[in-house]
Amino acid sequence: MPTKIYFSLVILVVFSAQAQTVVDTTLLKCTYNFIRMTDTISKQYNENEPMILEIGASISKYYSQLRKVGDSIYEKDVSDGMFGTEISFNTVNNPKYYRNKLATVIFQNSTNNKMTLQNQIIKRYEYDDDINLQIWSIKSDTARILEYKCQKATTNFRGRNYECWFTNEIPTKHGPWKFFGLPGLILKINDTKNNFIFECTGIEKTKKLITKDVNNEIIKTSRSDFERLFKAYKEDPLSFISASLSNIIISMKDENGNEIKMPTSNVKKPYNPMELSKD
């Protein structure tokens, strides 16, 4: 019997419990404010999203703080039997699950010079990427951020120009998102059009395990194929969801529970990817 979803024109993320493996131990935990412009036509920015960068001896992990909290709450609710045979859209997308936050998780491995990205567009996906992708130009300009002396650096990465402030007082090549390779921790970086801004708001020494989700349901893919899927979802969310979940019936109901006609046309979601080029 297929599951019925009470659907609205908002992304629905299907979540399943994930087994985890330990990949390293955190030495440093950095919190970043991440601001992104989702719609370049209306110049609409998303709210600041707190992101976490856990840095270990050789592996770092970058993820949304609120999304991780929401996933933990959701997994507990599932194990407690909160959901029945029907999945209510409103229930699954309860604000406490933070479904509107980034599902991206990025692991940088300085030992094998690879990074692994996990993300979710209805289903879970994973792909590998090279780690030494940016060619940095270090400048003489200096500034002070969070009481650390910083130096300026610039780079062009996959179609966008970036300005960055890093500190040699915290020697690590790891940085937020896919940024890597500077001689010190990145405390602020933004593209020159200010579509994407990362700013460090806190640094603490800590010791905790760095874990990675491992599950047979995670689909291994390539960056180009994942970006193609993500663009297809943005251009036609309803068709993408229907194609991705063939065993699920998607319907729309009004506030009284009466089924209403699905729209024949679909409104595109704003699409402003960080990576503009395929290389």
DSSP percent split of the chain into helix, strand, coil, nearest 5: 15, 45, 40
The arithmetic mean of pLDDT across residues 179-207, rounded, is 97
The arithmetic mean of pLDDT across residues 25-54, rounded, is 88
Contact call for residues 240 and 121 (beta carbons, < 8 A): yes
Q: Using DSSP bridges, classify how beta strands 248-253 and 59-64 pair: parallel, antiparallel or unpaired.
A: unpaired
Q: Which two tokens stand for residue 75?
A: 């997994």
Q: Which helix (H) or strand (E) holds 242?
A: helix 237-244
How far does CA 129 lie from the centroid of its chain?
Answer: 15
Query: So what's the pLDDT on residue 240?
Result: 76
Query: So what's the pLDDT on residue 12?
Result: 43
Query: So what's the pLDDT on residue 121?
Result: 87
The arithmetic mean of pLDDT across residues 208-232, rounded, is 93
Query: So what's the pLDDT on residue 266?
Result: 56
Is the pLDDT score of 5 beyond 90? no
Q: Which of the residue ranges 104-118, 178-192, 224-238, 243-257 would you say has the lowest mean pLDDT?
A: 243-257
State the Cα–Cα distance between residues 247 and 1, nearest whole angstrom: 9
User: 148, 143, 153: which is closest to 203 by C-alpha?
Assistant: 148
Supply the mean pLDDT for the chain. 82
Which of 251-258's residues contact partners 24+ apart within 8 Å by CB, and which partners?
251/4, 251/5, 251/6, 251/7, 252/6, 252/7, 252/8, 253/6
Query: So what's the pLDDT on residue 145?
Result: 97
Q: Which of the residue ranges 66-75, 106-115, 123-132, 214-223 would you say has the lowest mean pLDDT?
A: 66-75
Task: Give the residue, 260 or 131, on which the prediction is more confident.
Answer: 131
Is the pLDDT score of 7 beyond 60? no
In Å, how far are 65, 76, 132, 189, 234 from 98, measured between CA atoms? 10, 14, 32, 25, 19
Question: What predicted TM-score, i.e. pTM, was given to this entire model?
Answer: 0.82
